[in-house]
Structure 1
Amino acid sequence: MDDREDDRGTGHGHGPGPVFGHGLVLGKFYPPHAGHHHLVRSAAARCRRLTVLVCASSVESVPLAERVAWMRAVHPEAHIEVVGAVDDAPVDYSDPAVWDAHMTVFRAAVPDRVDAVFTSEAYGAELGRRFGAVAVTVDAGRIAYPVSGTAVRADPAGYWPHLAAPVRAALARRVVVVGAESTGTTTTARALAGHYRARGGVWAETRWVPEYGRRFSAEKYARLRAARPGAGFDDVTWDAADFELIAERQSADEDAAAGAGSPVLFCDTDALATTIWYERYLGGRSPAVEAVAARGRQHLWLLTDHTGVPFEDDGLRDGEHLRAWMTGRFRTELTRRGLPHLLLTGPPGERLRTAVAAVDELLARGWHFADPLPERG
């Protein structure tokens, strides 16, 4: 008996098995989870070349391009190619005409000969037959990874450990603390992260993202002092490129932390705040910084009021006289853009309690995924 017959007979992908030329894995990956990645890696280990076909329907709420990007990020191996296709055909595994419609989509996306199809689903045998390929079943009982796309969509936080970094980064609820100088943004962001880490479980990995602009300012000031030992912080000069770099780095740090942390992330400022700091130092608006801010995935902004908070000059601050103006600008801009925000007032304990209540409300609203096309047959 040859390898093709043996695999078709057993229907299992256990053991090293034969090496196929071109393998195929397909699915909605809505969103991709550990079970999907196990399937892809199992197939990749048995094929000289593997195509992963991401099929999205128009009714689903995660764009096809984003799912393709997620799968490419998790599976960057040279012999794995991830492609995407929109498939709006009904899902009825008992209807040959529906199968024909799906195969038209599949063949258009993957025109080359397929030697083996790898699935964890009951439809794998028919899919293999229609491709003229060996059907290999991998962990059909979900024993290795007890998770499904349906379960993840219903409760992302409950299945957080089964999600890879790109998906976590996209789904994490991002809470940004913004405010004028010396109003407690760092203290609040750090305290919030500590509060949620203390809840344990999936929340134990809760992170906060420091303000990159502060680090950048300290380094810029240090260079100036090395050249002019008597210079003060108000002697530091700024240009548009500084703020563009700060916005890009702040966003990159935020994305990295979101991918590595819990279902909630706290940020000490963000690229949107950088647009206000640009205005404060250079006047006007920066299209480049605005473009970075427009890519953001933030869900809630907490604005720290300057009222009742003493100004502490730590050597990197020069705007005590502008604090009221800055608070007003943040509030005006958040309102103008229609972004959810809350003004934190009172002593530190009251501010933290108010912030926690707002974040709990955000998390209680959960995540919303549009239902995929119903499956029949």
Structure 2
Amino acid sequence: MNYSLGLVVGKFWPPHRGHQLLLETAAAQVAELLVLVYAQPDDPAHPAPERAAWLRELYRGDDFAQGPRSGATPLRIVALTAADGIPPDAAADEVHREFVHQWLARHGYQPQVVFSSEAYGPGFAQHLGAAHVLVDAARQQVPTSGTELRAALAAADTAIPPPAAYLHPFVAAQYGAVPPTPVPRLVLLGAESSGKTTLATALAEALGTVWVPEYGRTLHEQKNGALDYEDLLYIGRRQLELEDEATRQARGWLICDTNAATTALYSYYYFHRCEVALQRLAQVCRPRYAHTFVCLPTVPFADDGWRGPEMLRQFQHGAILMQCDMLGIPYTLLDGSVEERVAQVRAVLG
């Protein structure tokens, strides 16, 4: 660590991969990173506090298998609003510099270094009496900007072309969008013990590709069944990241065991509520997956110690079908042996 406290200031409207590069580069060089999020005028649909919450979710830093990640730099992400007296975006650089300087002084922060990707960075850092580190100012590593992305999102429906490919899928979903993917995805849904995992393994072998396990099950086991409410949003976000990682090895199709809609369903099941951000992940499941298959709960029930009673399977199955219908997600029901279900999927894929 070169510095004890670093500072990043920005609109993060929307937070994109360039911002992530900036934050991760900064976090690697400081013991603690302060991130200020503000704009004036602000985005009325997703104001600064909401965008800051997205960033906190992206950088939770949890590894439940081993506890919090050792050596991870804490990010203190703060949203500023009109109550803080923020100046208009069009105000002179000197006005913004002094506003941040006074805010930092009032809250007892004294950063040693400022990280930015903009021309204002060196003068801003000098005004604060801090060093400056410039990160990808030429936009060579992440060739996009907030201005380009706002225009792309405004013009898009659900599937959005570049430069919106530079949005994390969690963030894109908050705008009702799905970044393009090089490999189409199919998703398997079903009640507990309906054969999804067995079918996913068989399909991957039959199609010569890879499959993505249900992360909610993984985390449930790691935490010995003691999931917290906040974990459900984390599960939805982490599942998308695992899917994106798996596309590098996928051939033809990527097979996904469950989707964010099911995660939202379990949020209501366990906690009787669901984060808006997770609801938005569920709402874009239709364009995210080229095909949705629902496994009928007709295979023998296997009690592995983690599942609910067998009588819940029929209720869960009905809830999944209702959710697909209400979200406008077309689906194909799968029944029979594993081999028969594989054949049914292949018939749909053509």
1:142 deviates by 3.5
Is 1:53 aligned with 2:36?
yes
1:107 deviates by 3.6
CA RMSD of aligned residues (A): 5.6
2:329 alignment counterpart: 341
TM-aligned CA distance change 1:212 to 1:247, over 3 Å: farther
1:28 alignment counterpart: 11
| 8 Å contact kept, 1:345–1:351 | no
| 8 Å contact kept, 1:39–1:119 | no
1:331 deviates by 3.2
For 1:158 and 1:197, how far apart are their aligned partners in 2?
29
2:300 to 309, 313, 334: 313
| 8 Å contact kept, 1:177–1:268 | yes
| 8 Å contact kept, 1:303–1:331 | no
State the identity %: 20
For 1:256 and 1:341, how far apart are their aligned partners in 2?
22
| 8 Å contact kept, 1:53–1:83 | yes
For 1:110 and 1:71, how far apart are their aligned partners in 2?
28
TM-aligned CA distance change 1:245 to 1:292, over 3 Å: farther
1:33 deviates by 2.4
1:342 deviates by 2.5
Query: Structure 2: any 5+ residue segments left out of the alignment?
Result: 62-70, 153-158, 180-184, 248-253, 287-291, 335-339
For 1:136 and 1:322, how far apart are their aligned partners in 2?
56
- Count of matched residue pairs: 286
Is 1:178 aligned with 2:189?
yes
1:146 alignment counterpart: 142
2:285 to 300, 303, 306: 300
Structure 2 residue matching 1:304: 3-state secondary structure: strand
For 2:241 and 2:123, how far apart are their aligned partners in 1?
37
Structure 2 residue matching 1:342: 3-state secondary structure: coil
Match for 2:258: what amino acid? D
Scaled by the length of structure 1, the TM-score of the pair is 0.51
Structure 2 residue matching 1:73: 3-state secondary structure: coil
For 1:107 and 1:55, how far apart are their aligned partners in 2?
15
Match for 1:146: what amino acid? V
Is 1:256 aligned with 2:238?
yes
Is 1:124 aligned with 2:121?
yes
| 8 Å contact kept, 1:243–1:274 | no
| 8 Å contact kept, 2:188–2:257 | yes
Q: Deviations over 1:164-220 (max 9, x none)?
A: 79769988789864345786644665678789995xxxxx8x62427849x98xxxx
1:283 alignment counterpart: none
Query: Structure 1: any 5+ residue segments left out of the alignment?
Result: 1-15, 199-203, 217-241, 276-285, 358-377
Structure 1 residue matching 2:142: 3-state secondary structure: coil
1:207 alignment counterpart: 212
1:266 alignment counterpart: 256
1:65 alignment counterpart: 52
- Relative contact order, CA 8 A, sep 6+: which one is greater? 1
1:121 deviates by 1.0
Q: 1:351-366 alignment to 2 at 5 Å?
A: 351=345
| 8 Å contact kept, 2:212–2:255 | yes
| 8 Å contact kept, 2:37–2:52 | no
Scaled by the length of structure 2, the TM-score of the pair is 0.54
1:54 deviates by 2.7
1:122 deviates by 1.2
| 8 Å contact kept, 2:214–2:239 | yes
TM-aligned CA distance change 1:64 to 1:194, over 3 Å: farther
